[in-house]
């Protein structure tokens, strides 16, 4: 997840700064400040009033945002179970932010200014709308609820990342569990590993249930019916429109998913020596805790990066990702990135833990950018490193004088996720790898196997992201899914969308959805990732065909300043430009799965051939 929390600004303040119509404007733009104010104050224009408000608001916002980020950083990088020092400091910082951003004075003033939209500049309107959107996450009319939510959020993160996973009686990290799920061949052991990875669930149940209520109640104070609707509105869409969009994407990729599902059932049954091919995939057969990425099922001769990366080491991967971005014309990462990021797993025996899910942080909405990862030398982290640097370069690119701090966000959240994943895709293609000397340029590789491996990553992800995760959260927040149906709903959706079943029955004493970090700390927005895949294939298609004039399956972006300029143009305006317009202008298309479907089209015939005579169950 990216950490661009526009957290919970704190109250009161702007009463002192917010001008009323009678207050002579303190001009903030240079032209106006050069003009001496007339003795009898002329009526202050709405534009001037808005500017004055925004200047004061932004200064305070940025200060509190930085303090919140610093406290959150500490809370996520130094987790000492039982020690509440960091959690308490984080709660205080977030409460200050909430009290400001959600203050009644600010909300009233924002609403008032927005009734004069027609007199304001478009960029002023965008900022005011963003500030009002942020306010809904911490309205001080529901101050007690917001305070409780802040506390519950910090506690939930500490529980999640303070958890001691055990396999065969020994403590293991999630990196260990992931590696075991990718490699272990014995189905009984696989089941134990999978179950070990789900042991955290029940611990998180009370916290998640109370977070649901607190999140819903928070946004209801400003008129949103539920938290899912609130998150969707950030795209300018209703909850229904969002769900319709992700359904459509899922439908478009469904025929291919059906082939992949059939293929995987038969191949894995063979691999694990199952007497019968199951109609639904046992979750413990898949090389990922949630079945969201099956790519390690296939090894492509000549393209296996794991041994090469193992030799190069974890540090090299991060440096290499930076080099790739630099080759496109992006600047070197600022020194603070290297000094303050937390990039690698903690040393064995450390007396604290850290959040081990990758994230990228824009600490002060200026140049302080950091990443929190647990990079190890393997293909999965190689891609994740490219992904996180995509967030970092997005931060750095929209941090420019044209973009006010309030609009230093992605065109929408999905764009933020798309950039780095696009670079991750580019960094796996054969000509790129050969150019870097990571593989032998003369080696013969099987293109169909390579495409299959990619589909097992990207296509397989879609029903998880747009189906299981989005439907579950939609139902959890908007329909108040009852506490005794949480796990049943999760598995019903897994069966329906992914064609996956748990290895044994999972009652309500488990809470398997809560094992996914985003359910706890990035709530009601996982469809961002589904949309990001669709967008990244649209961008990739355009880059390959229109800029590089290469086959989209075999590109080499390395060193192309034109590709860099294309991406930087998308990043530079942040959220000051409408996301639909950005896509249309840059690719000529509206959001659509067209490019993604087309990219994997050659695989359809191949899989149909492989699956001849096999039973389809979805
Ligand atoms: O959470 C992430 C990123 C963090 S911004 C590593 N991703 C999703 C996940 O891990 O579930 C990337 C793709 C999907
Ligand atoms: Zn991300």
Number of Cβ atoms within 10 Å of the Cβ of 146 = 27
Q: Note if 589 is an active site residue.
A: no
Are 388 and 416 spatial neighbours (Cβ–Cβ below 8 Å)? no
pLDDT at residue 242 in the model: 98
Number of Cβ atoms within 10 Å of the Cβ of 238 = 12
Q: 362 pairs with which residues across the strands?
A: 369
Q: 317: buried, middle or exposed (CB in 10 Å: 19+, 13-18, 0-12)?
A: buried
Which residues in 6-56 belong to E strands, given as ranges?
A: none
Relative to beta strand 359-362, strand 165-167 is: unpaired
Q: pLDDT digits over 28-66, tens only?
A: 333 333 445 556 677 899 999 999 999 999 999 999 999
Are 451 and 603 spatial neighbours (Cβ–Cβ below 8 Å)? yes
Rounded to whole angstroms, what are the CA distances from 187 to 122, 166, 361, 506?
59, 18, 39, 18
Q: How far is the CA of 428 from the centre of ligand 2 (A)?
A: 18
d(CA 23, CA 609): 76
- Write down the mean pLDDT value for the chain: 93
Dihedral of CA 531/533/534/535: which sign?
positive
Mean pLDDT of 556-570: 98
Mean pLDDT of 550-561: 98
Return the CA Rg of the chain.
Answer: 25
The one-character DSSP state at 544 is I
Are 285 and 187 spatial neighbours (Cβ–Cβ below 8 Å)? yes
d(CA 46, CA 114): 10
Q: How far is the CA of 391 from the centre of ligand 2 (A)?
A: 7
pLDDT at residue 39 in the model: 63
Scanning 427-509, the segments in alpha helix (DSSP H) are 430-435, 447-462, 470-478, 486-493
Are 499 and 261 spatial neighbours (Cβ–Cβ below 8 Å)? yes
Q: How far is the CA of 1 from the centre of ligand 1 (A)?
A: 5
pLDDT at residue 81 in the model: 83
391 marked ligand binding residue: yes
Would you say residue 11 has pLDDT above 90? no
Q: pLDDT digits over 407-436, tens only?
A: 999 999 999 999 999 999 999 999 999 999
Q: Note if 518 is an active site residue.
A: yes
The full set of domain ranges for the chain reads 11-26+42-163+200-225, 242-312+320-330+407-610
d(CA 462, CA 472): 14
Q: pLDDT digits over 282-305, tens only?
A: 999 999 999 999 999 999 999 999
Q: Output the residue whose Cα is nearest ligand 1's atom 13.
A: 529
Scanning 272-305, the segments in alpha helix (DSSP H) are none
The one-character DSSP state at 371 is E
The secondary element (H helix, E strand) that includes residue 165 is: strand 165-167
Pocket of ligand 1 (CB under 6 A): 1-2, 358-359, 384, 387, 529
Please give the number of the atom of ligand 1 that sits closest to the Cα of 1.
5
Q: pLDDT digits over 113-150, tens only?
A: 999 999 999 999 999 999 999 999 999 999 999 999 99
d(CA 540, CA 550): 11
Q: 531: buried, middle or exposed (CB in 10 Å: 19+, 13-18, 0-12)?
A: buried
Set 388, 454, 473, 501: catalytic member? 388
Rounded to whole angstroms, what are the CA distances from 371 to 62, 93, 205, 313?
20, 21, 28, 18
pLDDT at residue 15 in the model: 29
247 marked ligand binding residue: no
Q: 3 pairs with which residues across the strands?
A: 361
Please give the number of the atom of ligand 1 that sits closest to the Cα of 522.
1
| Three-state SS at 15 | helix
pLDDT at residue 70 in the model: 98
pTM of the model: 0.93
Q: How far is the CA of 417 from the centre of ligand 2 (A)?
A: 5
Residue 496 zone, left/alpha/beta (φ > 0; ψ -120 to 50; rest)? alpha
Are 576 and 403 spatial neighbours (Cβ–Cβ below 8 Å)? yes
Please give the number of the atom of ligand 1 that sits closest to the Cα of 360.
5
Q: pLDDT digits over 198-245, tens only?
A: 999 999 999 999 999 999 999 999 999 999 999 999 999 999 999 999
Q: Which residue has the tokens 């996180």?
A: 388
242-312+320-330+407-610 in CATH: which number?
A: 1.10.1370
Among 4-8, 36-40, 357-361, name the most confident range: 357-361
Q: Output the residue whose Cα is nearest ligand 1's atom 14.
A: 529
> 25 or 278: whose pLDDT is higher?
278
144 marked ligand binding residue: no
Give the dihedral of Cα atoms 231, 465, 322, 2; nearest 10 deg: 30
SS3 content of the chain, % helix, strand, coil (to 5): 60, 5, 35
């Amino acid at each position: 997840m990216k950490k661009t929390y526009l957290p919970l600004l704190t109250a009161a303040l702007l009463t002192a700064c917010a001008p009323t119509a009678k207050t002579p404007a303190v001009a903030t733009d240079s032209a106006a400040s050069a003009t001496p104010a007339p003795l009898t104050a002329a009526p202050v224009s709405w534009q001037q009033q808005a500017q004055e408000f925004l200047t004061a608001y932004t200064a305070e916002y940025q200060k509190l945002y930085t303090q919140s980020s610093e406290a959150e950083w500490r809370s996520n990088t130094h987790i000492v179970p039982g020690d509440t020092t960091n959690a308490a400091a984080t709660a205080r910082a977030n409460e200050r932010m909430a009290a400001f951003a959600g203050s009644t004075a600010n909300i009233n003033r924002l609403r008032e200014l927005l009734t004069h939209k027609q007199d304001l500049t478009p960029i002023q309107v965008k900022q005011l709308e963003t500030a009002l959107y942020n306010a809904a996450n911490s309205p001080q009319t529901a101050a007690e609820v917001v305070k409780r939510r802040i506390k519950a959020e910090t506690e939930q993160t500490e529980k999640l990342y303070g958890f001691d996973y055990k396999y065969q009686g020994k403590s293991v990290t999630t990196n260990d569990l992931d590696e075991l799920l990718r490699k272990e061949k014995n189905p009984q052991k696989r089941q134990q590993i999978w179950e070990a990875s789900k042991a955290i669930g029940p611990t998180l149940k009370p916290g998640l249930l109370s977070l649901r209520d607190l999140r819903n109640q928070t946004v209801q104070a400003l008129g949103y019916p539920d938290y899912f609707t609130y998150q969707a509105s950030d795209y300018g869409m209703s909850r229904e429109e969002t769900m319709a969009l992700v359904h459509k994407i899922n439908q478009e990729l469904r025929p291919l998913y059906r082939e992949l599902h059939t293929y995987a059932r038969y191949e894995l049954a063979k691999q694990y020596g199952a007497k019968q091919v199951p109609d639904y995939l046992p979750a413990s057969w898949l090389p990922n805790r949630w079945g969201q990425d099956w790519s390690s099922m296939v090894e492509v001769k000549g393209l296996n990066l794991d041994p090469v990366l193992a030799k190069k080491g974890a540090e090299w991967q991060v440096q290499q990702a930076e080099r790739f971005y630099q080759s496109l014309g992006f600047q070197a990462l600022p020194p603070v990135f290297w000094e303050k990021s937390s990039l690698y797993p903690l040393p064995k025996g450390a007396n604290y833990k850290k959040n081990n899910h990758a994230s990228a942080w824009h600490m002060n909405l200026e140049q302080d950018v950091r990443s929190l990862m647990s990079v190890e030398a393997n293909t999965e982290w190689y891609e994740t490193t490219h992904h996180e640097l995509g967030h970092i370069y997005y931060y750095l690119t929209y941090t420019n004088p044209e973009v006010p701090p309030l609009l230093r966000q992605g065109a929408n959240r999905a764009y933020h996720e798309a950039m780095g994943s696009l670079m991750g895709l580019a960094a796996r293609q054969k000509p790129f790898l050969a150019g870097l000397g990571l593989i032998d340029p003369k080696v013969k590789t099987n293109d169909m196997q390579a495409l299959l491996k990619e589909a097992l990553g990207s296509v397989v992800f879609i029903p998880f992201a747009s189906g299981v995760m989005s439907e579950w959260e939609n139902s959890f927040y908007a329909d108040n899914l009852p506490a005794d149906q949480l796990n049943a709903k999760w598995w019903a959706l897994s069966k329906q969308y992914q064609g996956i079943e748990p290895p044994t029955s999972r009652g309500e004493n488990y809470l398997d959805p809560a094992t996914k970090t985003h359910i706890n700390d990035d709530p009601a927005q996982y469809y961002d990732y589904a949309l990001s895949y669709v967008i990244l294939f649209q961008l990739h298609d355009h880059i390959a065909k229109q800029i590089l004039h290469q086959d989209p399956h075999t590109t080499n972006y390395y060193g192309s300043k034109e590709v860099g300029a294309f991406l930087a143009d998308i990043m530079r305006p942040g959220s000051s430009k409408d996301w639909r317009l950005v896509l249309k202008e840059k690719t000529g298309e509206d959001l659509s799965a067209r490019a993604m479907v087309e990219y994997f089209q050659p695989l359809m015939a191949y899989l149909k051939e492989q699956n001849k005579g096999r039973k389809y169950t979805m």
